[in-house]
Structure 1
């Protein structure tokens, strides 16, 4: 039968995640430099330059084929393409601030009207050049054929305008999606840090209570326990900025905790480790086993007739890392009024580090409690 329990004292640490996490992530997002505009500007000028260079090459070849006049084709290209480049650059400056809140129907209508006007202006410039250069050589080339260039240049500017608006709208959507993802990631990092800090305070609370109980009757043992608690906390502080640690480091932390309990319970506590040495470098969340070991000590000694045996087994099963903690005794029923911080903390950290890739169960038999933790793959948010 699977049940949930925790080694927690009444009234402590109400809640797992503080209400200010959203504020933390918002401040972090605001503190980051906003480079989105700079990236968009750089991308625009690169695309703008390449696009009009391609237009110049295409237009130059088309004009040679249409007019069979190299000088005329070169002149048209040298005049019209820079004008087109300049007009679209002005359009970019005009629309840049007006589409930050999104592309509206009015913006599209204005863009189409400006495209028609730009197309007509290009037509007039082209007609003036044709009149100046080709009248003497062949008057038939300039006799009122204005519709085709007007339509061509208008379509060019309309295509540019619609592409510009669509690309900016798409970039804004993707940027917003990325920013939401970054804000969520920042909130998750903040939550992981808070959960880790909560474990430290949770351990310190319980450890100091244990030391306080030993002071009246066994001051020497209490002094040695205090030293070991200090050593344990020194280890924790040395790794405070690490969300993950090697399995060997995690097991050493468990060893340190059990050594503290040994001073208190002496021969009534017996523990052993069965760990595959080939997986000691595997990365696991820091202090992920600590609350489970605390549960084993607290609930086990209270129900195991004065003697507690704990075994810790860790092995690799294909892509899975399997951890098992067994302790003699029974699992005490957890009161609803008692905040199961330690176990809830562990479950939440596993959800963040191994989303949909973990399993944590607590089962019991007549004389034994078995905790099994299975982790798939590598942890997220290292």
Structure 2
């Protein structure tokens, strides 16, 4: 605290110097008021002020590296007491040596000895308590910062784990489909392998870029849909409606793909014939809105593993934005829809370094 006055900014030196000069002048005038001649009063004030400032700096350096605990809190009082005694006797001995022929001044020193000692003790005690209080605040601030960093690292680790889970989840499904096509339709199996390779290459290349543009995300979705269309042929029809105003919007990578995969499963599981899925991406004052609508037959039940992608997206949204209300689902007898809100006024770099 005290030594900070003498560091960093050049004007702090000037401020500290002004404070010291004013203090010396004030105490000098006070001593002159009590009968001392000006040069003795000035030197008296200068000596004791210098020792006082030295004591303050010593206290700060002591409590910077060592803060008394509850078991030895008495040190916060003993150290100022020792400093007060040292400054009191040291200053008096020095001044008595300098002005050894000034009998009246010698008497003055004896007269104010106890009063000066009491004032020094109060000043050092106040400084000690202030430094201890400031040290406790700094410790608490550092503890909060460490806790924040730990939580941030935990969030980033969980986000990374979720992202790593999503790709194998999709990869396993694709490999199962390729395996089924190898004997019956080898050309389609080959086509699907190439498309899967393109998709994985694109996602791996962008892995370090945690937030991507809407255009990039849509390109991933089209690669994904090409793979799904090889699996399901003409049965799968997906219409993507992209608002032109979304070009400058960003979102976490592969956030929509698990939802679209979930919609494909809901649509094709238990239904025959052609299915139509709608994907709308629009800009709003609240952020980016993504809406996926697909046909749904509740009597067919849930396809195996269909809940993983949805839960993973919910968890990612909470880890990134700290909110549970960004993903909403709606189900009727024949239709299932998901609406996703992605705020844009978020520090994208902070949460995804």
- Report the TM-score, using the length of structure 2 for normalisation: 0.85
Deviation at 1:111, TM superposition (A): 2.3
Structure 1 residues 267-276 or 348-357, which shifts more? 348-357
Residue 124 of structure 1: aligned partner: 89
Query: For the structure 1 residues 134 and 54, does the alpha-carbon distance in structure 2 shift closer, same or farther, using more than 3 Å as the test?
Result: farther
Structure 1 spans left out of the alignment, 5+ residues:
1-42
Which of 92, 104, 111 does residue 70 from structure 2 map onto?
A: 104
Task: Using the TM superposition, give the Cα deviation of residue 118 of structure 1 relative to its aligned residue in structure 2, in angstroms.
Answer: 1.8
- Decide whether the 8 Å contact of 1:246 with 1:282 is kept in 2: yes
Match of 2:40 in 1: 72
Q: 2:282 aligns with which of 288, 300, 315?
A: 315
Q: Give the 3 Å change call, closer, same or farther, for CA 63–84 of structure 1 in structure 2.
A: closer
The aligned residue for residue 4 of structure 2 is 46
| Structure 2 gap segments, 5+ residues each | 8-12
Q: Could you tell me which residue of structure 1 aligns to residue 267 of structure 2?
A: 300
**Aligned partners of 1:311 and 1:327 also within 8 Å:** yes
CA positional deviation for 1:219: 0.4
* Whole-Å separation in 1 of the counterparts to 2:223 and 2:252: 17
Alpha-carbon displacement from aligned partner over 1:268-297 (angstroms, at most 9, x marks no partner):
221111111111221111111111111222
**Greater Cα offset, 256-265 or 228-237:** 256-265
Match of 2:10? none
- State the match for 1:30 in structure 2: none
CA shift at 1:58, angstroms?
4.1
User: In the TM superposition, what are the counterparts of 1:180-195 in structure 2 within 5 Å?
Assistant: 180-195=147-162
Kindly indicate whether the alpha-carbon contact (under 8 Å) linking 1:52 and 1:81 is maintained by their aligned counterparts in 2.
no
CA gap of 1:92–1:123, structure 2 versus 1, over 3 A, is same
- 1:52 and 1:86 map into 2 onto residues whose CA distance is 14
Aligned partners of 2:264, 2:309: CA distance in 1, in Å? 13
Matches within 5 A, 1:156-175: 156-175=123-142
Residue in structure 2 matched with residue 242 of structure 1 by the alignment: 209
Alignment pair present for 1:149 and 2:107: no
1:211 paired to 2:201? no
Q: Deviations over 1:340-360 (max 9, x none)?
A: 321111110011122227432
TM-score scaled by length of structure 1:
0.79
Equivalent pair of 2:29/2:41 in contact (CA under 8 Å): no
Matched positions, count? 336
